Structure 1
């Protein structure tokens, strides 16, 4: 499924299942639904018993096929992979990446996002984030850039917003 956004006509967002992404590559990958649930990642729906008839050998670790599929999903990117997971009930695969492999992560909540990043006054759909100019100077710019080119030099706005 291809998503087109009128404001950013050059932006191409395509949704694929992990199965469908096999053999493909993308600039960036976002994996959604990385939660520990029946239809999360790994999927907890039991395999069809008939599958046992065609498999020559069972894997001796949990969620072997789902683990391979997760690997496929996270390795489809040329640049970066972002995994969206809830803080409570996150996928066992995500927990392994964090705990066993020290993959860096950040937790963001709606409240933190709203408090730390005020809405862009021009487009009203983006939010103000700190950016670096060519000369190294900091400024605030809209997260919807290049669709919205709003910018302001006064970065104290973010600190003032946090102190309220």
Structure 2
């Protein structure tokens, strides 16, 4: 895991360039561990000194320093930092982890209880574009604990596209 000191350095380097872009000088106000790495809050230096609302920079969320590779991201101000779907999106898109397939877990339960025909029916009902052969391939892959073939996976219902709540600001940083 990337250390707290390293995470702070990554954010400080990023914030050092803000005044050059016409933004106020920013300072770190909060550092807390997160399951993905470190969440680091920031605010204008002037606001930290004066506590006057007029000096506050609003509309920005915390920075996330990835605990695995040290890359820097920003999280939308409206995102729930501790939960929410943005974390699943992040794990899939940044770390390459596959999203849980709720259909597969239900199919596995049916297969474990000897209800293979019900499993096939459930796949056909959940993914009508698959057809009988695709449903059979899906159920066989689930029964074998193998990955679903790509031609079958392409026909499965896709999760809805959600509003993006995080953005990459830097590539991985060496620790």
Normalising by structure 2, we get a TM-score of 0.25
Normalising by structure 1, we get a TM-score of 0.26
Structure with greater Cα Rg: 2
